Amino acid sequence: MLTRGTLIYIGQRLVIIVFTVLVVSSIVFLGIHRLPGDALFNEHLHGTQYALILHHYGLDRPLWDQYTSFLSGLILHGNLGESLVNRGVPITPLVLREFTVSAEVGLFALVFTIGLGMTLGVVAAIRQNTWVDYVLTTTSVIGYSMPSFVIATFLLLVFAVWLDNLTQGTFYFQIGWTGRFGTIGEIWLPAFALGFPYASIVARLTRASMLEVIRQDYIRTARAKGLRETVIMVRHALRNALIPVITILGPLVIGIITGGVIIENIFGIPGLGKEFATSILNRDYNIVIGVFTAYAAMIGVANLGVDLAYVVIDPRIRY
Amino acid sequence: MATSVSYPTPGPGPAPVVATAGIQAPVQASLWSDAWRRLRRNRLALVSAVYLVLLVAVALIALVHTPYSYRDVGVARPYSGPSGANWFGADILGRDVLSRLMVGAQISLIVGVGTQVLVLAVGVPIGLLSGYYRGLFDTVVAFIINVFYGIPDLLVAMILLLLLGPSLNNIIIAIVATRWMDMARLVRGQTLALREREFIEAARSSGAKPAKILFGHILPNSLGPIIVQATFGVPAAILFEAFLSFLGIGVQPPTPSWGSMAADGLAAIRIAPHMVIFPSIALSLTLMAFNFLGDGLRDALDPRQKR
């Protein structure tokens, strides 16, 4: 699987990712310094105090000078600077920690998307034109025509508010995050809300391609051989029905990453998305630059991962 | 729309014999009347169309009259639920939710339709030119399109809004920047396919200028897919605006947007669930209506296409 060609391909892609990350952070860095507004404004600083802090952040130097030192810090030390609002907080460890939180939610959502979507799709295909099929198909129409934050809001309303009122507080979903990483009890609802719209798409695709596959000759042959129905469905049918699903894996992963921005803000998850919204509102421009840089890297790596997954799943693909 | 298509036998189908002067194509068999007949049979699309007409009416009424001003605070007790005086309740500052929803409908429609007009203005000429002339221009366009597809749209829009500043115009610009490629690619593909057809060759050999061929023959013949694409683009843009406003980088207060209203409501979800429910319902219904209408139009305009 890991041929020399694949390794060269991975190397090339990594170079492109690094380049993209540098371009994105440069655009944001140079653009953001043109903006009006000032993170230090609220502190009502004057005179030498203000000048000292400006000097601390290097904001008194010419823009080009600031930019080159930002770029060299980023390339040589992976250093993204220091928060403007929470003075003394270095951004790189902060962003890395939030990245792992976002990745955790995203992976859970991906599990929901693929697992739930494929199960529903297969069940709907096997029970075609029964009430099971109709219920599942209708649910998936709702799933992909409603925006994710509406779905998330209604889930929150049902599980965190109404369930709480109904059971007098004995059983409900606790909004927010207690530890560094969420527990399963804290993560399942946001992951479900994030994955459900995409699960609907996966379910629709799986159903359509399963319907096509189970009518083919080799399935009839498998039945004639006397194989059990579950073996036929899982080993023979599902494998080939997977191919159209795999083709949307790329857009799916990107959708989950960007959709996570909203979901994290709704459910109070301390990930990159929450930091993004907070830092923009606080005008903490150094963090904004850092978050954008992290997102560009995350998306690049995710895309590469998807492309490599193709190689593993479909032996016909070679790089 | 039908009036713009006055030459013989437009649309997909067996390649037409070049019309000899004087013979008129039978009017009742035109693509558009066919499509209209098929669309009328699609209940879901019709219901959606009626809903959208009502929505436009509400948005127009909101220009001249809303129950309260959308920005007047304290017209009701803050967080108070639906009542006779405030049908959809009041928000955190005691502003009337119904009035704000009505003005929010204007914002959504302006963003949805405005972006599609711009997407058409940018994407159609680029697609026509690169599909018709091919060569270097086409290569450059294809490269740019691929670059844009490589960057996630939310990231592009957020960077643009951050740099341009949040205003309605800039929101539209940011959404267009992430959506024009779809239209350009579609029109390019249509042009590539159509330019090889006999009626284009006939037009060319009878001395028609490129502009006449592009806008008189190729464009009208690809109107069907373009309309479908633009219809699907409207809900995508509305959703995008709601997303951005939900995050606080879209439409700025006091102007209401369904997205920012939902965000406000979310903060008070325990004590005033109506604040988040009504904008969410309005947004979901609108998105679904546009999507169903798009489905209906696609089936009506291209009945042979497999879903």
Chain B residues with beta carbon closer than 8 angstroms to that of A257:
152
Cβ contact (<8 Å) for B162 and A34? no
- B289 shares contact with chain A (CB less than 8 Å): no
Q: Which of B152, B248, B284 has its CB closest to that of A258? A: B152
For the segment B80-133, what is each residue's pLDDT rounded down to a tens digit? 878 877 788 888 888 888 889 999 999 999 999 999 999 999 999 999 999 888
Q: Which of B152, B265, B266 has its CB closest to that of A299? A: B152
Structure confidence at residue B24 (pLDDT) = 55
pLDDT mean over A49-56: 80
Structure confidence at residue A119 (pLDDT) = 87
Cβ contact (<8 Å) for B248 and A281? yes
Structure confidence at residue A318 (pLDDT) = 63
Cβ contact (<8 Å) for B154 and A261? yes
- B270 shares contact with chain A (CB less than 8 Å): yes
Test mutation, A150, A196, A269, A284, chain B, max B CBs within 10 A = A150
Bigger pLDDT: B55 vs A28: B55
Structure confidence at residue B13 (pLDDT) = 47
Cβ contact (<8 Å) for A156 and B269? yes
Q: Which of B165, B248, B276 has its CB closest to that of A153? A: B276
Structure confidence at residue B4 (pLDDT) = 44
Kind plus residue range of the DSSP H or E element containing B184: helix B168-194
Cβ contact (<8 Å) for A34 and B249? no
For the segment A97-153, what is each residue's pLDDT rounded down to a tens digit? 888 888 888 999 998 888 888 888 888 888 888 888 888 887 887 777 777 888 888
For the segment A224-272, what is each residue's pLDDT rounded down to a tens digit? 988 888 888 888 888 777 777 777 888 888 888 888 888 888 888 888 8
Q: What is the DSSP letter of B21?
A: T
Structure confidence at residue B91 (pLDDT) = 83
Structure confidence at residue B8 (pLDDT) = 45
Kindly write down the DSSP assignment for every residue of chain A, as one continuous string.
Answer: ---HHHHHHHHHHHHHHHHHHHHHHHHHHHHHTTS---TTGGG---HHHHHHHHHHTTTTS-HHHHHHHHHHHHHHH----B-SSSTT-BHHHHHHHHHHHHHHHHHHHHHHHHHHHHHHHHHHHHTTTSHHHHHHHHHHHHHHHS-HHHHHHHHHIIIIIIHHHHTTTSS-PPPS--SSS--HHHHHHHHHHHHHHHHHHHHHHHHHHHHHHTTSHHHHHHHHHT--HHHIIIIIIIHHHHHHHHHTHHHHHHHHHHHHHHHHHHHT--SHHHHHHHHHHHT-HHHHHHHHHHHHHHHHHHHHHHHHHHHHH-TT---
Distance between CA atoms of residues B165 and B179, nearest Å: 19
| Bridge partner residues of B96 (DSSP) | B90
Residues 6+ positions from B82 with CB-CB distance below 8 Å: B88, B89, B274
Chain A residues with beta carbon closer than 8 angstroms to that of B151:
299
Chain B residues with beta carbon closer than 8 angstroms to that of A285:
none
How much is the ipTM here?
0.74
Chain B residues with beta carbon closer than 8 angstroms to that of A288:
162
Mean pLDDT of chain A: 82
B150 CA to chain A: closest CA distance, Å? 9
Q: Does the pLDDT at position A68 exceed 90? A: no
For A36, A59, A75, A93, A220, the CA distances from A80, given in Å and listed in that order, are 22, 15, 10, 9, 60
Q: Are B195 and B218 in contact (CB under 8 A)?
A: yes
Q: Which of A149, A257, A276 has its CB closest to that of B262? A: A149
The C-alpha angle A270, A301, A203, rounded to 5 degrees, equals 80
Structure confidence at residue A109 (pLDDT) = 92
- B147 shares contact with chain A (CB less than 8 Å): no
For the segment A204-218, what is each residue's pLDDT rounded down to a tens digit? 888 888 888 888 888
Q: Within 13 Å and on the Cβ side, how many CA atoms surround A77?
A: 11
All residue ranges of chain B with pLDDT < 50 are 1-11, 13-19, 306-307
Q: Which of B155, B162, B291 has its CB closest to that of A295? A: B155
Least-confidence region, from A56-65, A289-298, B20-29: B20-29
Structure confidence at residue B5 (pLDDT) = 42
B202 CA to chain A: closest CA distance, Å? 40
Test mutation, B155, B181, B240, chain A, max A CBs within 10 A = B155
Cβ contact (<8 Å) for A258 and B153? yes
* Interface contacts A/B by beta carbons within 8 Å: 84
Cβ contact (<8 Å) for B162 and A35? yes
